[in-house]
């Protein structure tokens, strides 16, 4: 089925109703999450500062690998929030799933959110990892690297929604615009690919480096097929409506990963080249 036909079937929820789901209770939870997250990260830095194993190259590599890991984590969480669940679910529906639905209906809404509403959710989901990182022993380079990697990863995860917000701003700060142009944080043009109905690609929103390789191996469509097979759930039903969701499943069922298509083309070319030329006159 053509993409344009699926786009016509998309039926989304009302933007104003979704925005009203941001309650005082959710805001209080997000403030508590931000305070807790910052406290845990400061405590982790203090522990790392006092260990003799925290060399410059070890910390630098942990920060860079943490950035790449955060990009993948942002994509995975984004995919989960976009694809599964409903705004009617207890607790999770209003606190975590609702913002994903609102963002597809009104993508500029994020530019009107303050620091708490923008970053509270990411701090909340990062708390378990922050506790694990803080509790790791600092008894050798391996443990120090693990703690540094986890701490760096969740720091970038926390920053992800800020990068995401900037990618939707018409006139971001000059330094932010430069970082977007050199693709060190999420560029608007790159992220715009995701905001094409039915919103089923390019989920990674920290920097976006992982989007192409994950697309090439069909990572998210494969995961969707497995979950649908195991549970019978229909991906994106709550976000784009049941009709569009079913049409998308049918369309995706006959597609192949780009890397598989490329491999088949190479094999076909190799087979053609290996065929002996005819000796008949």
Backbone angles phi, psi at 270, to 5 degrees: -65, -40
Task: Classify residue 224 as exposed, middle or buried by CB count within 10 Å of its CB (0-12, 13-18, 19+).
Answer: buried
- CA atoms of 19 and 47, how far apart (whole Å): 40
CA-based angle 101:102:108, to the nearest 5?
Answer: 135
- CA atoms of 71 and 211, how far apart (whole Å): 9
| Pair 153, 66: CB distance under 8 Å | yes
Mean pLDDT by 10 residues, the chain (281 residues): 58 64 88 97 93 90 97 96 89 84 89 93 94 94 96 96 96 96 97 90 96 95 93 88 83 63 60 57 49
Backbone angles phi, psi at 10, to 5 degrees: -65, 130
Rg, Å, the chain Cα set:
22
| Pair 220, 79: CB distance under 8 Å | yes
Q: How many CA atoms lie within 13 A of 86 on its CB side?
A: 9
Q: What pLDDT, on a 0 to 100 scale, did the predictor assign at position 185?
A: 97
For residue 197, count other CB atoms closer than 10 A to its CB: 17
Q: Which two tokens stand for residue 244?
A: 């569009």
Q: What pLDDT, on a 0 to 100 scale, did the predictor assign at position 37?
A: 97
Q: What pLDDT, on a 0 to 100 scale, did the predictor assign at position 19?
A: 67
- DSSP letter (8 states) at residue 235: T
Q: What pLDDT, on a 0 to 100 scale, did the predictor assign at position 101?
A: 87
| Pair 26, 94: CB distance under 8 Å | yes
pTM for this model (two decimals) = 0.83
Among residues 99, 253, 109, 203, which one has the least CA distance to residue 245?
253
Q: What pLDDT, on a 0 to 100 scale, did the predictor assign at position 211?
A: 97
Q: Return the H-helix or E-strand segment holding 279.
A: none
Delimit the domains of the chain by residue range: 13-217
- CA atoms of 214 and 76, how far apart (whole Å): 10
Q: What pLDDT, on a 0 to 100 scale, did the predictor assign at position 119?
A: 94
- CA atoms of 75 and 66, how far apart (whole Å): 14
- CA atoms of 3 and 151, how far apart (whole Å): 40
């Amino acid at each position: 089925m053509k993409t344009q036909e699926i786009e016509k079937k998309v039926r989304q929820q009302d933007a104003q109703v979704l925005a009203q789901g941001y309650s005082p209770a959710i805001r209080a939870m997000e403030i508590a999450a931000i305070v807790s997250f910052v406290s845990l990260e400061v405590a982790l830095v203090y522990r790392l500062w006092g260990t003799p194993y925290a060399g410059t190259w070890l910390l630098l590599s942990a920060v860079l690998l943490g950035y790449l890991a955060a990009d993948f984590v942002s994509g995975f969480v984004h995919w989960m929030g976009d694809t599964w669940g409903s705004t009617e679910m207890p607790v999770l529906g209003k606190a975590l799933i609702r913002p994903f639905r609102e963002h597809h209906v009104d993508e500029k809404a994020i530019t009107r959110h303050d620091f708490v509403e923008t970053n509270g959710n990411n701090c909340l989901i990062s708390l378990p990892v922050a506790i694990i990182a803080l509790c790791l022993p600092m008894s050798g380079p391996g443990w120090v690297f693990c703690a540094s990697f986890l701490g760096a990863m969740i720091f970038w995860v926390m920053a992800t929604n800020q990068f995401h917000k900037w990618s939707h701003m018409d006139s971001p700060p000059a330094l932010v615009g430069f970082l977007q142009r050199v693709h060190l944080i999420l560029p608007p043009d790159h992220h715009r690919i995701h905001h094409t109905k039915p919103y089923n690609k390019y989920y990674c929103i920290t920097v976006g480096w992982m989007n192409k390789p994950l697309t090439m191996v069909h990572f998210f469509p494969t995961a969707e097929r497995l979950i649908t097979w195991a549970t019978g759930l229909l991906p994106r039903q709550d976000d784009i409506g049941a009709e569009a969701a079913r049409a998308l499943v049918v369309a995706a069922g006959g597609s192949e990963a780009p890397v598989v298509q490329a491999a088949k083309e190479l094999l076909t070319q190799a087979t053609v080249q290996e065929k002996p030329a005819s000796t008949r006159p």
